[in-house]
Amino acid sequence: MARLLPSAALALAVIAGGTYWYSTQQSSGTAQGVSFSPVSAATAQEVDTSGIIDMTLGAEDAPITVVEYASFTCPHCKTFHENVFKDIKENYIDTGKVKFVYREVYFDRFGLWAGMVARCGGEERYFGITDVLFEQQSEWTGNGSPAVVADNLRRIGRVAGMSDEQVNACLQDGDKAQALVAFYQQNAEADGINSTPSFIINGESYSNMNYRDFSAVLDGLLEE
């Protein structure tokens, strides 16, 4: 069963509080970061998200566009990426048949932190970090302690070639966090997303699928 999205108000309050916790309590000893106010559902459309880009794989002119909505803390999303996505990438994305767009969903502060670390590496490292976040999901989320999670994300950042200072700077960027939350909310509302993982394939909504069913949808579109 796919993980259901919480209400926008609840999710945004949890995320905002979590980012504030990191910026004021993170234990690395670096300078304190900034906090930011929660983005309400009513004002999300007013937040400047122009600096946030979609993360994509595949040919820009591919005949099929697949948009995935997923959370880095969602076990069902981890299962999809381990059991389905790799085959889709090999057989459809890498062959020019599918343009793949990954959109982060934020259930909690840890999912937001993970997304900020993944984006901290830039477009060229984003999907490599994404693979690690899913593969090591149970390890980096640890016991649920914010300090432990932050340390684990810094470790993943180091493996990806970033310094602790770079990762801390990304995690303390309150404006970026607020824009990411608003970007997620705007897109999820526009596409009617209420669970993860969810997919928009050439404009049509689909819930979680195994590889056989997913490939059948893609093959059907390619035959049209």
- At 169-201, the pLDDT tens digits run 998 888 898 899 889 988 998 999 988 999 999
Q: Which stretches within 30-173 are classed as H helix?
A: 75-80, 86-88, 109-120, 123-135, 137-141, 146-159, 164-171
pLDDT reported for residue 13:
46
Does 118 fall in a domain? yes
Does 155 fall in a domain? yes
Segment (H or E) for 198: strand 198-201
- Mind listing the pLDDT tens digit for each residue in 7-26? 444 444 444 444 444 444 44
The SS3 of residue 54 is coil
Does 131 fall in a domain? yes
Asked if residues 106 and 184 have their Cβ atoms less than 8 Å apart, the reply is: yes
Asked if residues 91 and 125 have their Cβ atoms less than 8 Å apart, the reply is: no
Does 62 fall in a domain? yes
Cα separation, 63 vs 86, in Å, equals 19
Cα separation, 148 vs 92, in Å, equals 37
Give the mean model confidence (pLDDT) for residues 30-45: 42
Beta strand 64-70 pairing with 198-201 = antiparallel
List the end-to-end C-alpha distance of the chain, in Å, as a whole number. Answer: 31
- Mind listing the pLDDT tens digit for each residue in 77-123? 999 999 999 999 999 999 999 999 999 998 888 999 999 999 998 99
The total of structural domains in the chain comes to: 1
pLDDT reported for residue 43:
55
Does 68 fall in a domain? yes
Q: Pick from 58, 127, 63: which is nearest to 93 by CA? A: 58
Q: Please tell me the pTM assigned to this model.
A: 0.84
pLDDT reported for residue 25:
46
- Residue whose structure tokens are 């906090």: 35
pLDDT reported for residue 44:
58
Does 43 fall in a domain? no
> Domain range spanning residue 171?
3-34+51-223
Does 39 fall in a domain? no
CATH of the domain at 198: 3.40.30.10
- Mind listing the pLDDT tens digit for each residue in 113-134? 999 999 998 999 999 999 999 9
Cα separation, 214 vs 222, in Å, equals 13
Does 46 fall in a domain? no
Whether the predicted pLDDT of 29 surpasses 90: no
